[in-house]
Amino acid sequence: MNELFNEITVLSVVSLGAIGGVAAIVLFLVAQKFKVIEDPRIDEVEDLLPGANCGGCGLAGCRALAEAIVRAESLEGFNCPPGGSEVMQDIAEAMGWEASESTPMIAVLRCNGTREFAPPKVKYEGAMTCAFAHNLFAGEGGCPFGCLGCGDCVEACDFDAMYMDKDTNLPVILDDKCVACEACVKECPRDIIEMRKKGKKNRRIFVSCINKEKGGVARKNCKVACIGCGKCVKECKFDAITLENNLAYIDFEKCTLCRKCPPVCPTNAIHELNFPERKKKVEKEAKTE
Amino acid sequence: MGGVHPPENKLAEKQAIERLEPPKSVAIPLAQHLGVPAEPVVSRGDQVKTGQLIAKGEAFISAHIHSSVSGKVKKIDAVTDASGYRKKAIIIDVEGDEWEEGIDRDEGLQKQCDLDAKEILEKIHNAGIVGLGGATFPSHVKLNVPRGKKAEYLIINGVECEPCLTADHRLMLEKGEEILVGVQLQMKALGVKKAIVGIEQNKPDAIQHFTKLAKDYEGISVQALEVKYPQGAEKQLIKALINREVPSGKLPIEVGCVVHNVGTAFAVYEAVQKNKPLIDRVVTVSGSSVKKPSNFMVRIGTPVSALIEAAGGLPEDTGKVINGGPMMGKALNDLEVPVTKGTSGILIFTENEASRPVEQNCIRCARCVTICPMGLEPYLLAPLAEKQRLEECEDERIMDCMECGSCLYICPSAKPLLDHIRVGKTRVGKMIRERSA
């Protein structure tokens, strides 16, 4: 009995040991043959990225960006919108490169067709998605260029940087949360949201309208539409404003934020954000009175 | 397969077609058909006569447009049309009613035709005829069978399965002979020996009338069809009449068929035998609150408000005014929208009838799957489309959806299934085009 037991034990130990040995050799050889040499720096860079996988950089996710950065051996042309310059600095430091500063951008809504300025003429009852409403009609207010107010952009935002204002029926972009990933820009069926330079102290001046119709037609639907009168173009000393298809556009690269154009706009279509309140306004009103 | 049975509400069934006088001013849109919009050949201040060519559709898929009135071209400008957007239209101030020479305005029946197939096609092309069932596909393109394909049957759609609409029904009763001559002309143009007129069983008078008349016309037969929606959809009609299935993504010509509406057949008759271009059509104005539900013969370009006025005015409790049938039609956001070649009906719904119920969660009852005439799964397609999972949408054959609206109609949770599927279709279509480009 004891002998038999010994024999089985020895046999099984030897045979299993042999199989194990052969398998180990095979595995070792295969691992040698198909070895993936991965740059350890990829992991290092990935650790520094925010890990939101938002795709804001234009790549599939943070890992893809890390791979691309390491492969390119430079930060030139790469941008992580949520991480911003801080993250890029960190990566540059870790890699021993120099980081180039890129201009911070932010999403800007170029429509001011609130319920007050563009009163709804009809009521929309379909699925609450701008994509469908856009296929169906010009919009409750009647402007074929204006915001439809179904909130596809808010849905697309991964950073809670947008919400729908119930009173105006327009989306609101939060300056401190927007990371310029462009998800909303891509989602908007009417291309109302534009990526613009964030500006010093978050100050921005832009035409809050993209209506290309003739002035009279545009005004019929919305009190604050750009009517293409060209007054702002004349006012601008820096050639930053162009007029095309009855619509003024302010080039944010050329604009010096001098604040000359907003007051001349007869329909208040030019918006200025985060500026201190105007002093002149009081004087002006006093004059007219 | 599939289908729903919405209440028929054919209130204007017994109302004879009434000819509506031209209004003071018409707006004739340049895009009234599928394909490329026509190019205007008149300019501001020109005098035009009724039936005169005012815009040319030279592209392969396009159609000519003729003036429906006589008068002076006021301007060529954008006006809101049934699409809900402002599109280019020729606006004409009406002065008298002087017709273009060569148009035979005699009401008498003209049976004899000595023209050959090519000449008939030419006349149909020149008259700017498009499919009057609603899709407005240019008829001359449809009747020109592509090389390598052979047409066996001409199928004439007299189903009118949309509830409320009675335009085709009245036309069949009042212009039966003319329609059959039109069918014969199309058979000649196509070179087919057999034509079948399909009519739903809820129109026994039309079936009887046509069966009697068709005896004198060789090759034309009449078939009664089960009442269900959408019986008049092209693929469903072919299946019901000759039991052939059009493959996914293909046209009826693949199974040897060309399908035309009865209204189109009448327009073909007028174009070929009377030289009259497509400048008017029958439009049903109906609804439970409408004082006088009617069928009007209307000049193209007449504002919808004039039609409503003629039917007794807009009721106070109106919730929606629909252009087309209640199932596939679209609510108008402006009552000055002009009647176009594709306008089959103007329906007025009270607020009660028009409002959509509150959307609830899908309860997986699978009614939408049971009734989908194309054998699709709307409960699945809608969320896939909503989440933009386009490849999966394509695998689930979203492009086969004909947007009949049965799923939206049957859904007990009132989910806007079709709304999402429509968006999905547009996106998948774009994806497919980009891939092949």
Largest CA distance in chain A: 120
Residues A88 and A146 in one domain: no
Asked if the structure places residue A9 within a domain, the reply is no
A89 and A179 fall within a common domain:
no
Whether the per-residue pLDDT at B254 is higher than 70: the answer is yes
Contacts of A135 in chain B (CB under 8 A): 422-423, 426
B128 plus B263 within the same structural domain: yes
Kindly state whether residues A52 and A170 are assigned to the same domain. no
From B1-15, B156-170, B187-201, the region with the lowest mean pLDDT: B1-15
DSSP annotation of B229: B
**Nearest-5° angle of CA B18, CA B24, CA B30?**
90
A86 and A172, same domain (yes or no):
no
Rounded distance between C-alpha atoms, residue B125 and residue B23, angstroms:
27
Closest chain B residue to A218, measured at CA = B86
Give a three-class secondary structure readout of chain A. CHHHHHHHHHHHHHHHHHHHHHHHHHHHHHHHHCCCCCCHHHHHHHHHCCCCCCCCCCCCCHHHHHHHHHHHCCCCCCCCCCCHHHHHHHHHHHHCCCCCCCCCEEEEECCCCCCCCCCCCCCCCCCCCHHHHHHHCCCCCCCCCCCCCCCHHHHHCCCCCEEEECCCCEEEECCCCCCCCCHHHHHCCCCCEEEEECCHHHCEEEECCCCCCCHHHHHHHCCCCCCCCCHHHHHCCCCCEEEECCEEEECCCCCCCCCCHHHHCCCCCEEEECCCCCCHHHHHHHHHC
Residues 55-114 of A with CB under 8 A from B: none
* Tokens encoding B28: 């004739």
Does a structural domain hold residue B134? yes
For A131, name the nearest residue in chain B, comparing CA atoms only. B423
Please state, in angstroms and as integers, the Cα–Cα distance from residue A42 to each residue in A62, A66, A91, B51, following that order.
10, 5, 11, 73
User: Could you tell me the residue range of the domain that residue B199 belongs to?
Assistant: 117-274
Question: Is residue B244 domain-shared with residue B387, that is, in the same domain?
Answer: no
Interface contact A213-B86, CB threshold 8 A: yes
Residue B75 burial (C-beta neighbours within 10 Å; 0-12, 13-18, 19+): middle
Q: Please tell me the number of Cα atoms within 13 Å of B215 on its side-chain side.
A: 6
CB contact under 8 A, B330 and A217: no
B298 inside domain = yes
Please report which confidence band the pLDDT of residue A36 belongs to, taking 50, 70 and 90 as the band edges.
confident
Last-in-domain residue among A95, A117, A133: A95
A31, A65, A95 - which closes a domain = A95
A189 contact B CB<8A? no
Q: What is the pLDDT of residues A224-235, one digit of tens each?
A: 999 999 999 999
B242 and B126 inside one domain:
yes
Q: Give A47's contacts (C-beta < 8 A, 6+ positions apart).
A: none
Same domain? A115 vs A58: no
pLDDT at A100: 65
Q: Residue type for A248, please?
A: A
- Tell me, yes or no, whether A85 and A139 share the same domain: no
Compare CB distances from A135 to B86, B356, B426 and report the shortest one's residue.
Answer: B426
Q: Does B330 touch chain A (CB under 8 A)?
A: yes
Range of the domain at A47: 40-95
Is residue B38 within 8 A of residue B62, CB to CB? The reply is yes
Between CA A73 and CA B350 the distance in angstroms is 68
Using a CB-CB cut-off of 8 Å, the residues of chain B touching A136 are 84, 330
- The chain B residue lying nearest A152, using CA atoms, is B386
Q: Is A22 on the interface with B (CB under 8 A)?
A: no
* Residue B2 within a domain: no
pLDDT at A95: 85
Contact list, B355 vs chain A (CB under 8 Å)? 125
Whether B85 shows a pLDDT value over 80: the answer reads yes
Are B180 and B42 members of one domain? no
Give me the CATH number covering residue A71: 1.10.15.40
The residue-averaged pLDDT of B77-85 equals: 89
Question: What is the C-alpha separation between B43 and B27, in angstroms, rounded?
Answer: 14
Which one of A71, A95, A119 terminates a domain? A95
Q: Residue range A8-18: average pLDDT?
A: 92
Band of residue A98 on the pLDDT scale cut at 50, 70, 90: confident
Q: How far is B96 from chain A (nearest CA, A)?
A: 31
Which of B85, B355, B426 lies closest to A144 in CB terms? Answer: B85
- Statement to judge: residues B147 and B198 lie in one domain: yes
pLDDT at residue A285 above 70?
A: no
List the 140-179 stretch of A: residues with Cβ below 8 A of B: 142, 144
pTM for the whole thing? 0.83
For A117-168, the pLDDT digits (tens) are: 999 988 888 889 999 999 888 889 999 999 999 999 999 998 889 999 999 9
Preceding peptide of B230 cis, ω within 30°? yes
Share of chain B above pLDDT 90, in %: 87
Residue A81 has a pLDDT of 79
Residue B8 located in a structural domain:
no
Q: Do B300 and B424 fall within a single domain?
A: no
Structural domain count of chain A: 2
Q: Determine the residue among B75, B321, B393, B422 to mutate to test chain A binding: the one whose Cβ has the most chain A Cβ atoms within 10 Å.
A: B422
Does residue A194 lie within any of the structural domains? Answer: yes
- DSSP secondary structure letter of residue B374: T
> Is the domain of A110 the same as that of A88?
no
Query: In the predicted model, what is the mean pLDDT of residues A55-84?
Result: 84
Confidence class of residue A2 from pLDDT cuts 50, 70 and 90?
low
Enumerate the residues of chain B whose CB falls inside 8 A of the CB of residue A213. 78, 86
Query: How long a stretch of residues is chain A?
Result: 289
Residues 397-416 of B with CB under 8 A from A: 416
**B391-421 per-position pLDDT tens digit:** 999 999 999 999 999 999 999 999 999 999 9
The residue count of chain B comes to 437
Has residue B122 been placed in a domain?
yes
**With 0-12 CB in 10 A as exposed, 13-18 as middle and 19+ as buried, what is B83?**
middle
Amino acid letter for position A190: R
Cβ-Cβ contacts under 8 Å, A221 against chain B: none
Angle between helices B117-126 and B262-274 in degrees, nearest 10: 100
Convert the pLDDT of each residue in B361-383 to its tens digit.
999 999 999 999 999 999 999 99
| Residue B31: partners with Cβ closer than 8 Å, 6 or more residues away | B37, B38, B81, B87, B88
- The pLDDT of residue A91 is 87
| Model confidence pLDDT, tens digit, residues B27-36 | 999 999 999 9
Look at A129 and B86 and tell me if their CB atoms are within 8 Å: no
Q: What pLDDT does A286 receive?
A: 45
Chain B residues near residue A129 by CB distance under 8 angstroms: 386, 419-420, 423
DSSP B103-149: -----S--------HHHHHHHHHHTT-B-TTTT--BHHHHHSPPTT-
B218 and B233 assigned to the same domain: yes
Closest chain A residue to the Cα of B356, Cα to Cα: A125
Of B238, B254, B274, the position where a domain reaches its end is: B274
Reported as type and span, the H/E element at residue B358 is: none
Q: Would you say residue B296 lies in a domain?
A: yes
Is B423 close to A121, i.e. CB distance below 8 A?
no
Across the A:B interface, residue pairs with CB atoms under 8 Å apart total 45
Q: Distance of alpha carbon B339 from its chain centroid, rounded?
A: 12
Q: Are residues B126 and B199 in the same domain?
A: yes
pLDDT at B296: 96
Which element (helix H / strand E) includes B57? Answer: none
Q: Which alpha helices (H) appear in B275-321, and where do they start and end?
A: 304-310
CA B312 to chain centre: 25
**Structural domain contains residue A284:** no
B85:A142 CB<8 A: no
Whether residue B254 sits in one domain with residue B122: yes
Q: How far apart are CA B275 and CA B278, in angstroms?
A: 10
Tell whether B419 lies on the interface with A, counting CB pairs under 8 A.
yes
Residue A237 lies in a domain: yes
Same domain, B84 and B142: no
* B86 chain-A contacts, CB cut-off 8 A: 138, 144, 213, 217
ipTM over 0.90: no
- pLDDT band for B2, please (50, 70, 90 cuts): confident
Q: Residue B333: list chain A partners with CB under 8 A.
A: 121-122, 137-138, 142
Chain B residues touching A137 at Cβ < 8 A: 83-85, 333
Domain total of chain B: 3
Nearest CA in chain B to A122: B333
Q: Which residue of A has its CA nearest to B359?
A: A127
